[in-house]
């Protein structure tokens, strides 16, 4: 009999404790928000999706080398005489065409290590954090502003320039070899 009433007491007391917690929370302000209708204010130094301002990128590759997960892929082509790439906004002369600048955000861990070594401060974190995709390859962002034709053209022009230089060098070497030197001149001259 004692155990019977003890169990009833335990049941009521635990219900009371549970209800006390429930009622208490009715008067505590909610900590959850109605996302996406309501958005939290981001901290000042929040790390989200990166952006690259290609107008200021000199293709130095420092960001890519600093990346611990190798998610930045950069390809460049040297400019040839007569091409003026201009300067960055902090006065650095540009000498390389950046023909590929991909960041794979499926791999990026938002460590920001790529941002610090950039000499022109053209790679930086934005406040964009909503960019989920159903396909992984859509998370590879291409920042290059040149069209595919222009990228191809820069590469072809550079190859052509190198080939011409090589041909000139070979021609000069052949001409030099064909010119008789003082000690090789015939004795009757
Ligand atoms: S934030 Fe980190 S992981 Fe992402 S691209 Fe930069 S260095 Fe790589
Ligand atoms: S470090 Fe800056 S300038 Fe150099 S390749 Fe990266 S984004 Fe471009």
As given in the structure block, the two tokens for residue 95 are 């000498």
- Local structure of 183: helix, strand or coil: helix
pTM value is 0.79
Site to probe by mutation for ligand 1, drawn from 62, 66, 68, 71 as the one with most ligand atoms within 8 Å of Cβ, is: 71
Confidence band, pLDDT 50/70/90 cuts, at residue 31 = confident
Q: Where are the domains of the chain?
A: 50-149
Q: Using a 6 Å cutoff on CB, does residue 106 contact ligand 1? A: no
Choice among 35-44, 139-148, 172-181 with the minimum mean pLDDT: 172-181
- Local structure of 123: helix, strand or coil: strand
Domain 50-149: which CATH class? alpha beta
What is the radius of gyration, based on Cα positions, of the chain? 34
d(CA 69, CA 80): 33
Mean pLDDT across the stretch 134-161?
Answer: 96
Residue 115 near residue 72, CB atoms below 8 Å = no
pLDDT tens digit sequence for 79-89: 999 888 999 99
The pLDDT assigned to 186 comes to: 55
| High-pLDDT (> 70) share of the chain, % | 95
Residue 142 near residue 101, CB atoms below 8 Å = yes
| pLDDT at position 170 over 70 | yes
Site to probe by mutation for ligand 2, drawn from 55, 58, 91, 97 as the one with most ligand atoms within 8 Å of Cβ, is: 58
d(CA 57, CA 143): 10
Ligand 2 cavity residues, CB under 6 Å: 52, 57-63, 74, 117-120, 122-123
Ligand 2 centroid to Cα of residue 67, in Å, is 12
Name which residue sits closest to atom 1 of ligand 2, judged by CA: 118
Ligand 1 centroid to Cα of residue 85, in Å, is 27
d(CA 27, CA 34): 18
The pLDDT assigned to 18 comes to: 94
Residue 88 near residue 25, CB atoms below 8 Å = no
pLDDT tens digit sequence for 90-138: 898 999 999 999 999 999 999 999 999 999 999 999 999 999 999 999 9
Confidence band, pLDDT 50/70/90 cuts, at residue 77 = very high
Sign of the four-CA dihedral 139, 45, 121, 115: negative
């Amino acid at each position: 009999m004692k155990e019977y009433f003890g169990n009833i007491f335990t049941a009521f007391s635990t219900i009371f404790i549970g209800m006390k917690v429930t009622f208490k929370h009715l008067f505590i302000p909610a900590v959850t928000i109605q996302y996406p209708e309501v958005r939290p204010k981001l901290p000042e130094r929040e790390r989200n999706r990166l952006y690259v301002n290609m107008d200021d990128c000199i293709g130095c590759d420092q960001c890519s080398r600093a990346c611990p997960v190798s998610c930045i892929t950069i390809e460049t082509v040297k400019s040839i005489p007569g091409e003026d790439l201009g300067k960055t906004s902090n006065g650095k002369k540009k000498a390389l065409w950046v023909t590929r600048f991909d960041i794979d955000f499926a791999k990026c861990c938002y460590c920001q290590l790529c941002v610090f070594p950039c000499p022109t401060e053209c790679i930086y974190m934005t406040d964009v954090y909503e960019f989920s995709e159903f396909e992984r390859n859509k998370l590879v962002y291409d920042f290059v502003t040149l069209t595919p034709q222009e990228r191809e053209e820069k590469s072809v022009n550079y190859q052509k320039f190198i080939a011409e230089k090589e041909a000139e060098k070979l021609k000069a070497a052949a001409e030099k070899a064909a010119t008789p030197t003082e000690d090789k001149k015939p004795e009757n001259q």
